[in-house]
Chain A
Amino acid sequence: QLQLQESGPGLVKPSETLSLTCSVSGDSINSITYYWAWIRQPPGKGLEWIGTIYYSGSTYYNPSLKSRVTVSVDTAKNQFSLKLTSVTAADTAMYYCARHDYGGPRGFDPWGQGTLVTVSS
């Protein structure tokens, strides 16, 4: 059974870089079919897609965040990561990783449990 688990600091200072890792178990991240995504949800608000990566390293980003986002993959560790630079309070959110059926119809499934990141000094 595929499982995803986010990890990383829960508190980041303004202007610094948010770094999170998603560990994938139960399947290989070297999937030909699937991609891997980050999505976030500010407290009490809706969902925002951040970016997606393929095992080969090809990436797709939300233009609203593209200048500050880097998603990378480590196939040896079966992990992928998110870096978001120059964070502000507006980046405070629950951050989820998910498998992404980028070329197909299923969207994001399954999701990790999420990790709350607060931006505060």
Chain B
Amino acid sequence: DIQMTQSPSSLSASIGDRVTITCRASQSIDNYLNWYQQKPGKAPNLLIYAASSLQSGVPSRFTGSGSGADFTLIISSLQPEDFATYYCQQTYSTPRTFGQGTKVEIK
């Protein structure tokens, strides 16, 4: 199985801050990497697919980058509705696996 490791596990940030979350795969997965946002009590929601493609309807302040084994999700200017937990997920091989999540909290 491909292990996905996110860092940090949690972070505190203020409205307007630039936030960076990283995801590392245990082997190269090309660009087969998705990012999801999960708000409390809700199902996850796809933000970015294929490492850098923005899902329809997702604000442009979300940017994904990376290839191979190292990936980054950047929120350029944190908004109140962005406080949530973010998960990366590889679509390179079966079983599909997720990172452990990064919780973005209000400072």
Contacts and interface: CB of A to CB of B under 8 A. Distances in A.
A108 B94 contact: no
B93 to A, nearest CB: 11
Interface string A81-121: 00000000000000010100100011111111110000000
Contact of A105 (B43, B44, B91, B98): B91
Interface string A43-77: 00011110000000000111110000000000000
Given A106-B34, A108-B44, A111-B44, A46 B53 contact: no
A64 B45 contact: no
Interface residues of B, number: 25
A46 B98 contact: yes
Contacts of B87: 46-47
Contact of B96 (A106, A107, A109, A110): A107
Contacts of A113: 42-43
| B contacts with A: majority SS | loop
Given A46-B87, A46-B101, A111-B43, A105 B49 contact: yes
A64 B94 CA distance: 11
B14 interface: no
Given A105-B32, A106-B55, 12 more contacts: A46-B87, A46-B98, A46-B100, A60-B94, A63-B95, A96-B43, A106-B49, A107-B46, A108-B34, A108-B44, A109-B46, A109-B49
Interface of A: 46-49, 60-64, 96, 98, 101, 105-114
